[in-house]
Structure formats: structure tokens, C-alpha cells
Amino acid sequence: MKKVIASLIAGLFATSVFAQAPAAPAAPVAKAEAKEMKAVAKADAKEAKADAKADAKVEKAHAEAKSDVAVANADATKSKAKAHSKAKKAKAEAKADKAVDNAEAKKDAAMK
């Protein structure tokens, strides 16, 4: 029984020695890992901010393009309506001139 107890006690001492040995160098490694993780997080945040900024620029350009298209369409519609109005006026003038010419022709024919 004494041998069993002695081997258990020796085992406890041995495990405590091995359990404590790597603890000392682990602290600087953990610190370095924490620093690295912090740097990675900072870089990720910076990249996300740059991406958001670029997306905002794209959205702004897209909105401006849509606005420009809407203005161009409105101008085209206005120009088309104006041209249509001018064509109607020209057609009415031509019809009036034709009526005057016909009236003058009838008058000349009646005079002869």
C-alpha cells in the first residue's frame, strides 16, 4: 500500500511540474496573439469603412445618373411637344393658305 501511495504522490508532483512549465512562455505568446488579433480587427474595420465609402460613392453616382436621365427625358418630351405644336401651326397655316388660294381661284374664275 505504501508503494501505491508513494507512486500517486510522485505522479501528482510530476504532473504539477509539467503543468507549470509551459505556463511561463505562454504569456508572451498570448500577448502577441492578442496584438495580432487587434491589428487584424483594426484592418478589417478600415477595409469595411473603405468599402462602405466606395459603395456610397457608387450609389451617389447611380442616383445622379438616374436624375440626369429623368431630366433628359423631360427635356425630350418638352421638345417633342414643342415640335408637335409647331407642326400643327404650320399645318394650320398651310390649310389657311390653301383656303385663301382656293377662294382667290374661285374669285378669278367667277370674274372671267
- What are the residue boundaries of the structural domains of the chain, listed by start? 2-111
Q: Report the alpha-carbon angle 94-99-105, nearest 5.
A: 125
CA atoms within 13 A on the CB side of 42: 6
pLDDT score of 13: 78
Whether the model clears a pTM of 0.75, i.e. scores above it, the answer is no
Whole-number pLDDT of residue 100: 87
Angle, in degrees to the nearest 10, between helices 23-111 and 2-20: 40
Q: How far apart are CA 12 and CA 5, in angstroms?
A: 11
**pLDDT tens digits for the chain (112 residues)?**
888 888 888 887 777 666 554 555 556 667 888 889 999 999 999 999 999 999 999 999 999 999 999 999 999 999 999 999 999 999 999 999 888 888 888 877 877 6
